[in-house]
Amino acid sequence: MITINNSPLKPYLTNKAVRAAGSIAMLILAMLFTNPVAAQDRTITLEEAIKLGLDNSKVLKLSQSRIDQAVSQYEQAKDHALPTGSASVGYNRAQIPAHKLNIGEQSLVLPTSANAYLGTVSVNQVIWAGNKLRYARESTNLLTQVSRLDAENDKDQIAYSIINSYYNLYKVLQGKKVVEQNLATIDAQIKQSQRFFEQGLVTKNDVLRFQLQRSNIELNGIDLENNRRIINYNMDILLGLPENTQLNIAQITEANRDAAPLANYLDTALANRPELRQMDLRTRVAETNIKNIKANTTPTLSASGSAYYVGISGNPIPKSGNFITPISVGLTLGWDFGSLWTNKNKVNEARLQREEVIINKGITTDNVKNEVNQSYQNYRTALDKINLLQTSINQALENNRILESKYRSNISSATDRADAQTLLYQAQINLELAKADAGLAYYTLIKSTGKLNK
Residue range 195-205: mean pLDDT, rounded: 81
Tell me, rounded to whole angstroms, the distance of Cα 52 from its chain centroid. 13
| Residue 112, pLDDT above cutoff 70 | yes
The count of C-alpha atoms lying within 13 angstroms of the C-alpha of 113, restricted to the half-sphere facing its C-beta, is 6
Q: What is the mean pLDDT of residues 112-117?
A: 82
Give the model's confidence band at 39: pLDDT under 50 very low, under 70 low, under 90 confident, else very high.
low
| pLDDT over 60 at 199, yes or no | yes
More confident residue, 117 or 284: 284
Q: What is the pLDDT of residues 354-379, one digit of tens each?
A: 999 999 999 999 999 999 999 999 99
User: Residue 28 — pLDDT band, cuts 50, 70, 90?
Assistant: very low
Q: How confident is the model at residue 30, as a pLDDT?
A: 42
Provide the pLDDT confidence category of residue 117 given band limits of 50, 70 and 90: confident
Band of residue 20 on the pLDDT scale cut at 50, 70, 90: very low
Give the model's confidence band at 29: pLDDT under 50 very low, under 70 low, under 90 confident, else very high. very low
Rounded to whole angstroms, how far apart are CA atoms 350 and 334?
25
Q: What is the chain's mean pLDDT, rounded?
A: 83
Q: Quick check: 178 and 234 in contact, CB under 8 A? A: no
Q: Label residue 1 by pLDDT band (50, 70, 90).
A: very low
Let me know if 19 is exposed, middle or buried by CB neighbors in 10 A (0-12, 13-18, 19+).
exposed
Strands 84-95 and 113-128: antiparallel
Kindly list the domain boundaries of the chain, sorted by start residue. Answer: 43-82+129-299+339-448, 93-127+300-334
Reported as a single tens digit per residue, the pLDDT across 203-254 is 788 788 888 888 988 998 899 999 999 999 999 998 999 989 999 987 776 6
Write down the pLDDT at residue 319.
72
User: In the predicted model, is pLDDT for residue 159 greater than 70?
Assistant: yes
pLDDT at 278: 93
Q: Hey, what amino acid is at 93?
A: R
* CATH hierarchy code of domain 43-82+129-299+339-448: 1.20.1600.10
Q: What is the pTM of this model?
A: 0.74
Look at residue 35 and tell me whether its pLDDT is greater than 60: no
- The distance from CA 292 to its chain's CA centroid, rounded to whole angstroms, is 35
Q: What pLDDT score does 23 carry?
A: 46
| Residue pLDDT, tens place only, 52-87 | 989 888 888 888 888 888 888 888 888 888 899 999
